[in-house]
Amino acid sequence: MVVGGGMSGLTAAVEAAEIGAEVYIVEKRPFLGGRVAQVNQYFPKLCPPNCGLEINFQRIKKNPKINFITNSEVEGISGEEGNFNVTVKTHPRYVNDNCTACGKCVEACPTERENDFNFGMDKTSAIYLPHEFSMPMRYVIDGDVCKGTSCNKCVEACPYNAIDLNMEAKNTVFNVGSIVWAAGWNPYDAENISYYGFGQYADVVNNVMMERLAAPNGPTKGKIVRPSDGKEIENIAFIQCAGSRDENHLHCCSSVCCLASLKHATYVREQYPDAKITIYFIDIRARGKFEDFYNKVESEIGLNFIKGKPGEVKLDNENGKLIVHSEDQLTQTVTDEKYDMVVLATGMAPVTRKSKVPANINYDEDGFVASDSGMPGIYAAGCVKHPMDVASCVRDATSAAMKAFQSAVRGQDNG
Amino acid sequence: MATRLDPNLKNELEEFGVKDLEKCYQCGLCTGVCPLSSNDDPFPRKMVRYAQMGLKDKLIASPEPWLCYYCGECSDFCPREANPGETMMALRRYLTAQYDWTGISKRFYTSHVFEIFSVIGFALLIGLGFLLFAGSNPDMQQARLSTFVETHVIEYLDILMAVVLSAFLLSNVYRMIKFQMGDLLQKVPLSMYMSEVKELILHFLTQKRFSECSDKRMWYIHLLIMTSYTLVFLLVVGLLSGIGGRLPAFQTDEVRSFFHIYNLIGYYATFGLLFGTSYAMIGRIRKNRAIYQFSHATDWMFLILLWLTALTGILIHIFRVIGGDGMPAATYIVYTLHLMVAVPMLVLEVPFAKWSHLAYRPVTIVVTNVKKKYENSIKFSTPAASDESQSA
């Protein structure tokens, strides 16, 4: 069983299935693809993520050994290597296989919800398609806001009998040999960083929101503008290590944020040839081959680097700009620069920081699953283990698939 | 000018209480969150850097430690838990020892044995003085201090002590100015300093900069201790015999009315000192603020001596007036104890340790102002030079 249908989970599932294992993917969200589906472009090649996902989706569709269930979470694990009983709770989707994603239901739906796919920067109706490339390509109803059978408008509008508002959550028990835990990551909650004004000022966004703002299928159709008033950007700041490498927040370096901000700088430059782009940094961590990307971006697009971790972001009430208060270590001065928008390079918090694996396994101080999970048969893969970029996730998931395969075989031999 | 690195600086600083220096990764958040740090004198990161690098000369010439009032926000938010606030505190101890030419300060701060024995030694010396010279026939019916010690003798000794301690302190202050001004010492005209006298007095009396901390409570507490101390100091040193009788004498055998101005000042000062020092001691035990997280041995010594001084001070008053005739024996003993605590505190703390900040802080503010003024005047008088500096 693979828990998590993001890049790591998909890779682990495909790799394990292609060497003969029967695989179940359990995904919490109503679609596969995870965080990668929300990314505009990968660094360093700046290609869109859909091609990578598309290939994996094809491999899943064509391989009868892979089954996946969305809207589902693991509630309990019992047993041991080779013979686990995993209880999976599936939340109601309220939409069945008949759905053709025609969209007639949306026209009928009177209720709106915050679009979590775009981090609340826009809204969808209560019945919605998670995104254009959603896998499965089926609508879903947000049970928290849907008025249910008392409204019933979507049911009446659907020509295919695809909507069933009486669907209920159900538990299923799977018997599996081993488990790959690839639950992924959440952006670190920047509201915890009291001095940066995230959540307080609309124009302070985090880096994953920036990804959505730049994405053609995002809330602004790919146009990077100030979230507060839709104005164009003249002056934008990136604050690195916002909540990372910090004893009060995440201890670790998230390893991708420097590259992500450099990548975001290319998004901005493409749309605004004259905008001033400033990166506040402690040190730019572009490791190994990524240094080429750093050199390329720095020399080609014109960036302003300030060495110093800002101490405060506040709003200038006169013109609605954000003031970033920081030391500039090279000039040994304290600067107050004004920006239209501030992007916090927030780090990766493992999903296991908040929702633990329902088994007795080891974690580090930030909640990442320890390299030695302490439980034979359960293997973490990808960003739930430590922060990493997509390519590293693919490599890590492949190795986890191998370990899980061996473990299942070993467990069954011993049992 | 060549920059000299002192590889032993870190070890030396640790003796003064610098901790976790190596944890700092120079992000500069501390400077960013500091409400007191300004464009011209950004701190504390720069000071931590100097300390890490062993830049002793630069540290000694730095005014920044005296411009910091330890609000503690830097330490609270520090991503590395490197306690930059405490580093600044310890640097103040270190600088105090550097300014002091006698070497007493350094020994006081770096040796527990010296610290404890110097206090006890001084106390015993005072006790011995009373044993040898105090009145041979004190009034045991009614508490009359004049029959125990003559007020004018104590007053002479008071003034002598004030003169000697001021001389030590001022010589150290001069050394501080020399370090901070560097090459500018000879260039800046005296008038420029004189124009800042008002600032000096203002900062001396109000510690205005302290109020710029986001949490003003520590400033209030400090102000309470400082005003209490200053008022009672004026009474004890300036008005002990009322300037030869021209004003009412503070030390008298009369029982004054409760509402007598001296009594009111005394009660205020007793409350201020006992409350302020107790607040700080409880804070240091509970470690409830960044400023109270770490306590150097001399922090405790200072608080305990001040607390005891206030306590014995008010006890003299109580024993002297209780029941009309007072309790003579208790009065004389507590009077002796009072001086056994107060004198060592003043002698050691004023020129050589914590009390010296009463001079170093306001003087540093003036020195940095003067330096800025002078540099600006140079800039404007020679436009070519200013163009150059701007283009650089």
Residue B255 confidence (pLDDT):
86
Residues A278 and A340 in one domain: yes
pLDDT at B40 over 90: no
In angstroms, rounded to a whole number, what is the distance separating the alpha carbons of residues B177 and A264?
A: 50
Q: Which tens digit of pLDDT belongs to each residue from B125-151?
A: 999 999 998 877 888 998 888 889 888
Confidence of residue B392 (pLDDT cuts 50, 70, 90): very low
Residue A411 confidence (pLDDT):
87
CA-CA-CA-CA dihedral for B230, B235, B240, B242, to nearest 10 = 130
Residue A104 confidence (pLDDT):
93
Q: Does B214 touch chain A (CB under 8 A)?
A: no
Residues A60 and A151 in one domain: no
The strand pairing partners of A198, in sequence order, are A201
pLDDT at B379 over 90: no
Domain of residue A71: give its range: 2-91+169-186+349-414
Q: Mark out the alpha helices in chain B (DSSP H runs).
A: 9-15, 29-33, 45-53, 56-60, 64-67, 73-77, 84-99, 104-110, 112-133, 151-181, 190-194, 197-206, 217-233, 242-245, 261-286, 297-321, 328-352, 357-381, 383-391
Closest residue in chain B to residue A280, using alpha carbons only? B27
Domains of chain A: total: 3
Closest-CA distance of chain A to residue B292, Å: 19
Q: Is residue A40 part of a domain?
A: yes
Binary contact (B28, A332; C-beta < 8 A): no
Chain A residues closer than 8 Å to B42 by CB: 327, 332-334
Residues A16 and A71 in one domain: yes
Tokens of residue A185, six digits: 């990551």
Residue B326 confidence (pLDDT):
87
Q: Which of A241, A248, A327 lies closest to B32 in CB terms?
A: A327
Closest residue in chain A to residue B73, using alpha carbons only? A311
pLDDT at B250 over 50: yes
Q: Is residue A24 part of a domain?
A: yes
Q: Is residue A181 part of a domain?
A: yes
Binary contact (A334, B42; C-beta < 8 A): yes
Closest residue in chain B to residue A196, using alpha carbons only? B33
Q: Which of A241, A307, A332 lies closest to B46 in CB terms?
A: A332
Give the CATH number for residue A290.
3.50.50.60
Positive or negative, the CA dihedral B103, B106, B111, B112 is: positive
Domain ranges of chain B: 9-99, 104-367
Residues A118 and A143 in one domain: yes
Chain B residues closer than 8 Å to A323 by CB: none
* N-to-C CA span, chain B: 19
**Segments in chain A below pLDDT 70:** 415
B312 phi/psi in degrees, rounded to 5: -65, -35
Residues A215 and A144 in one domain: no
Closest residue in chain B to residue A284, using alpha carbons only? B27
Q: Mark out the alpha helices in B134-237 (DSSP H runs).
A: 151-181, 190-194, 197-206, 217-233
Residue B385 confidence (pLDDT):
46
Binary contact (A310, B29; C-beta < 8 A): yes
Could you give the percent of chain B with pLDDT greater than 70? Answer: 97
For residue A77, give the amino acid letter.
Answer: I
Q: Which of A246, A309, A332 lies closest to B32 in CB terms?
A: A309
Residues A242 and A139 in one domain: no
Q: What is the ipTM of this complex?
A: 0.89
Chain B residues closer than 8 Å to A249 by CB: 79
Residues A146 and A257 in one domain: no
Of A320, A346, A372, the last residue of a domain is: A346
Binary contact (A245, B79; C-beta < 8 A): yes
Binary contact (B33, A282; C-beta < 8 A): no
Residue B391 confidence (pLDDT):
41
Residue B388 confidence (pLDDT):
44
Residues A337 and A240 in one domain: yes
Q: Is residue A163 part of a domain?
A: no
Residue B389 confidence (pLDDT):
44
Of B227, B223, B221, B205, the residue nearest B365 (C-alpha): B205
Q: Which tens digit of pLDDT belongs to each residue from B19-39?
A: 899 999 999 999 999 999 988
Mean pLDDT of chain B: 92
Chain A residues closer than 8 Å to B78 by CB: 247
CB atoms within 10 A of CB A373: 20
Binary contact (B28, A327; C-beta < 8 A): yes
Chain A residues closer than 8 Å to B37 by CB: 327, 334
Q: Which of A245, A248, A311 lies closest to B32 in CB terms?
A: A311
Q: Which tens digit of pLDDT belongs to each residue from B75-89?
A: 999 999 999 999 999
pLDDT at B155 over 50: yes
Residues A280 and A355 in one domain: no
Q: Which tens digit of pLDDT belongs to each residue from B315-369?
A: 999 999 888 888 999 999 999 999 999 999 999 999 999 999 999 999 999 999 9
Binary contact (B29, A309; C-beta < 8 A): yes
